[in-house]
């Protein structure tokens, strides 16, 4: 793991050490402890995130806001002349907009996306893609078949894919394979890794979803592998694969 990969993970690390036991951050934390420059950067990031959290926690709603909202709802069917809002109510609305539309960093710190999914979304949006090999081409044909449902089980041999030229990424010290494929005119990217390398990703009843960098992704696992499929297209196109 290099410093750029470590920073990518540590930006999702919540202040106060609440993620210290999460194995997804173990490699990045070790890198920060061993590299003084990365450690100093991480300390500044944590201080900033903590300061933002403290400021937000210090924001209290004006007295009577709840009652005012409920009273307004109860008489909303009655036509009323236009009037100016009290200053305190305008301030409360501004705080609500601040929470909803800004402070992406704080939202991420409170509920971080799984690092593998975030890595895949970043790769889709910003990196160059390629790869070759017979096993990769065979799997690509399966993926491009409109009848294939990705979560129903895929014929994956990670060792053969890597040995024959499939695009191989290094994330957290582990190999992640990536294959591009199309369904109709829509381009997708499938990321595959060993389940044992990412134990924090548990097999679940259905995939989890995320959006970042203008892309969307779905993540799931089976007994041996973890998968992320991502695209720059509409989320509806993504769900149709699953």
End-to-end Cα separation, the chain, in angstroms: 31
* Model confidence, pTM: 0.58
Question: Phi/psi at 82 (nearest 5 deg)?
Answer: -60, 140
Query: pLDDT, tens digit, for every residue of 82-109?
Result: 555 555 455 555 555 554 444 444 444 4
Q: Which of 220, 237, 223 shows the shortest CA–CA distance to 181?
A: 237
Q: How far apart are CA 39 and CA 7, in angstroms?
A: 10
How many angstroms separate the Cα of 219 from the Cα of each of 22, 53, 120, 203? 18, 29, 10, 10
Question: Phi/psi at 29 (nearest 5 deg)?
Answer: -65, -40
Give the start-to-end residue ranges of the domains of the chain.
1-112, 115-239
Contact 8, 117 (CB under 8 A): no
Query: pLDDT, tens digit, for every residue of 159-182?
Result: 999 999 999 999 989 999 999 999
Q: How far apart are CA 103 and CA 99, in angstroms?
A: 7
pLDDT at 207 over 60: yes
- Is the CA virtual torsion 116, 212, 238, 180 positive or negative? negative
Higher pLDDT, 19 or 168: 168
């Amino acid at each position: 793991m290099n410093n750029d990969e470590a920073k990518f993970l540590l930006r999702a690390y919540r202040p106060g050490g609440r993620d210290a036991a999460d194995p997804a951050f173990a490699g990045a934390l070790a890198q920060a402890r061993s590299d003084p420059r990365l450690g100093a950067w991480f300390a500044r990031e944590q201080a900033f995130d903590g300061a933002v959290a403290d400021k937000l926690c210090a924001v209290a709603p004006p007295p009577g806001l709840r009652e005012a909202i409920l009273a307004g709802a109860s008489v909303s069917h009655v036509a009323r002349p236009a009037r100016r809002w009290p200053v305190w109510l305008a301030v409360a609305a501004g705080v609500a907009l601040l929470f909803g539309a800004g402070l992406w960093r704080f939202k991420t710190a409170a509920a971080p996306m799984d690092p593998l999914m975030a890595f895949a979304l970043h790769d889709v949006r910003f990196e160059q893609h390629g790869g070759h090999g017979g096993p990769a081409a065979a799997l690509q044909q399966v993926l491009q078949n409109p009848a294939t449902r990705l979560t129903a089980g895929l014929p994956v041999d990670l060792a053969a894919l890597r040995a024959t030229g499939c695009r191989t990424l290094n994330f957290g010290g582990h190999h992640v394979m990536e294959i591009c494929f199309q369904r109709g005119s829509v381009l997708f990217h499938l990321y595959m890794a060993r389940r044992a390398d990412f134990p924090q990703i548990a097999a679940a009843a259905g995939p989890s979803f995320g959006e970042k960098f203008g892309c969307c992704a779905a993540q799931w696992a089976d007994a041996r592998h973890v998968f992320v499929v991502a695209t720059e297209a509409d989320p509806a196109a993504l769900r149709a694969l699953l």
